Amino acid sequence: MLVNHGMNQLASLSIARSYSFASSIAAVLRRQSFLIRARGGGVHNKVHSTTAGITMQETEADAVSILRAITPTLDPTRHKGQAGKIAVIGGCREYTGAPYFAAISALKIGADLSHVFCTKDAAPVIKSYSPELIVHPVLEESYSVREEERKQVSAKVVAEVDKWMERFDCLVVGPGLGRDPFLLDCVSEIMKQARHSNVPIVVDGDGLFLVANSLHLVHGYPLAVLTPNVNEYKRLVQTVLKCEVDDADAHGQLSSLAKQIGGVTILRKGRSDLISDGDIVNSVSICGSPRRCGGQGDILSGSFLLVLVLQYFYLGHAKPFVAADRNPTVLGCIAGSALLRKAASLAFETRKRSTLTTDIIECLGRSLEDICPAY
């Protein structure tokens, strides 16, 4: 009986390893296909002339139709992980809310697994917010590492994240990250590993501070998405275009900025969200909430992560993908923006001036269900 039991264990282990290997190969192939689509993005839109005399494409996006097109109905034949495995890189002593908001938002609209890689100080706090998140206390800040140990510790941190990298369908870098120099150096290496594995990267919050000072991390990577607010956008424009923000030519300047960073997709947050990959400029003007509580950008990052994942996970499966000729990162931005704005509007209907980010998160599921019923 012991022999049979041992043989059964070996057989089970072999099957598990084969499944894990097959899943890894499938993930690699999906990301390669996704990268090809991102590089070949583009769509026919009306032409807009900028004040500089340059012609470009601009359109008010049909965000609701796009969201419907790329969101599948639930399929009982699928297993855990097939609706997305995402990771958030962020969370330090001072900032624990932002990574939670991003990670839980992805789960609230349908992701199966959501990881957070944060510092040891932040981990217990983030874990206490929700048992749904998988929290990795692996990041380190300068105060906890001696000078002579930094190289060794940095290599250990990067290796710890990298061993999970092939499992992830998308990364968001920046929520609650802080600006500790050693921590930012480690995250730079993590971004390089993600790019090497063709993992889509959403950069928000302090991740944008890092990118503004190290443009090579995202330059020329079509699966990179930057989501700056007013001040973060101003810093990018000053760094890359060497000028000030020109709202009179907002579309032209955004397109130029995306081109100068090598065709990344940029979502400029504002009264209307402007989205460009350098070839087109889309705007999303769906009414949201006049209450501008902190943390909504983190919801956007988490929502965008899942929408991006759904595009290449379900492409060619449950639903016809009516927008298959479009850049998937642009579509993800449009859909994520629309979803957040509708959820914020729903939350404001009830909470008015007391609306908080947690209220908006609770409305994400209803917002998505109203547009894309689960069945």
Feature table: binding site for (6S)-NADPHX: 176, 229-235, 298
Shortest CA distance to 154 belongs to which of 124, 189, 129, 130? Answer: 189
Q: How far is residue 14's CA from residue 2's CA, in Å, rounded to a whole number?
A: 18
pLDDT of residue 104: 97
Helix-helix angle 364-371:63-70, to 10 degrees: 90
pLDDT of residue 35: 60
Q: How far is residue 4's CA from residue 10's CA, in Å, rounded to a whole number?
A: 10
pLDDT of residue 217: 98
Query: Which residues lie below 8 Å from residue 165, measured CB to CB, with a gap of 6+?
Result: 193, 194, 197, 199
pLDDT tens digits in sequence order for the chain, 375 residues long:
444 544 444 444 444 444 444 455 555 555 555 565 566 644 334 333 333 333 445 578 789 888 888 887 787 888 887 788 999 999 999 999 999 999 999 999 989 999 999 999 999 999 999 999 999 999 999 999 999 999 999 999 999 999 999 999 999 999 999 999 999 999 999 999 999 999 999 999 999 999 999 999 999 999 999 999 999 999 999 999 999 999 999 999 999 999 999 999 999 999 999 999 999 899 999 999 999 899 999 999 998 777 776 665 544 443 444 445 678 899 899 999 999 999 999 999 999 999 999 999 999 999 999 988 887
Domains of the chain: 30-371 (3.40.1190.20)
pLDDT of residue 114: 96
pLDDT of residue 271: 93
What Å distances lie between residue 372 and 62, 72, 112, 154, 365, CA to CA?
15, 8, 18, 43, 10
pLDDT of residue 60: 83
Feature table: binding site for ATP: 269-273, 288-297
Q: How far is residue 81's CA from residue 167's CA, in Å, rounded to a whole number?
A: 9
Feature table: binding site: 176, 229-235, 269-273, 288-298
Q: Would you state the structure tokens that stand for residue 4, as one six-digit string?
A: 């049979």
